[in-house]
Amino acid sequence: MLTPPTDDSALPDITPSEPPPPKPNKPWFNTNLLLAAAALFIIVPAALTTQNIVNEAKSQPKCTPISHVEIYPGQVIAAVGSPELNLSAMAFDALGMTVIHAVKYDWGISSTGSLGRLKGKHDLATFAPSGPGTGDLYVRASNSCTKDGIVGSVKVIVQ
């Protein structure tokens, strides 16, 4: 029968070693690389979109031809000495879209007698009826590609 030695010198010298330090928890991805990739996915499409908008703006015509002009209200019926009436004009292109930029409006009145006073400023005008009769209030709308202008008119009756 074997008996274990009682003397410690018979045991091999095993000193416990310290455990290795834990490895730091690093993400499986590189944060800087992730930020760079995200920036590419955001900045590059935005830059391309901006470039497309600039290119489209360059390819569009510098002005829109005016096809017709309308005066509101569509007819004026007033009494002699009644308060001034407000009028407005709007220019339209061939597709029926409003033409807003760089449009010049020239207002006028055509009648057999002195119907009243017309004051125009840009796309707005006022008409002050002063004498009985009939005629037309008109406006000529023009821009750099519709130089001769397009005329719109409404019937005016002063009683």
- pLDDT tens for 69-105 read 999 999 999 999 899 999 999 999 999 999 988 899 9
Q: Given this model, what pLDDT does residue 83 score?
A: 94
Provide the mean pLDDT of the chain: 81
Residue 118: HSE in the Cβ half-sphere, 13 Å Cα cutoff: 22
Whole-number Å distance between alpha carbons of 15 and 19: 12
Distance of alpha carbon 68 from alpha carbon 80, whole angstroms: 31
What percent of the chain has a predicted confidence (pLDDT) above 70? Answer: 67
CA–CA dist 40, 46 (Å, integer): 10
Q: Return d(Cα 44, Cα 41) in angstroms, integer.
A: 6
Element (H, E) at 137: strand 133-143
Can you give the pLDDT at residue 125?
96
The pLDDT-based confidence of 120 (bands split at 50, 70, 90) is very high
The whole-number pLDDT of residue 81 equals 87
| pTM, full prediction | 0.59
- For the residues 54-74, what does the mean pLDDT come to? 77
Q: Read off the pLDDT band of 146 (50, 70, 90).
A: confident
pLDDT of residue 43: 74
pLDDT value of residue 88: 96
| DSSP assignments along 56-118, one per residue | HHHHS-SS----EEEEESSEEEE-TTPPPEEEEEEEE-TTS-EE-TT-EEEEEEEESS--EEE
pLDDT tens for 24-57 read 666 666 667 767 766 667 776 766 666 656 555 5
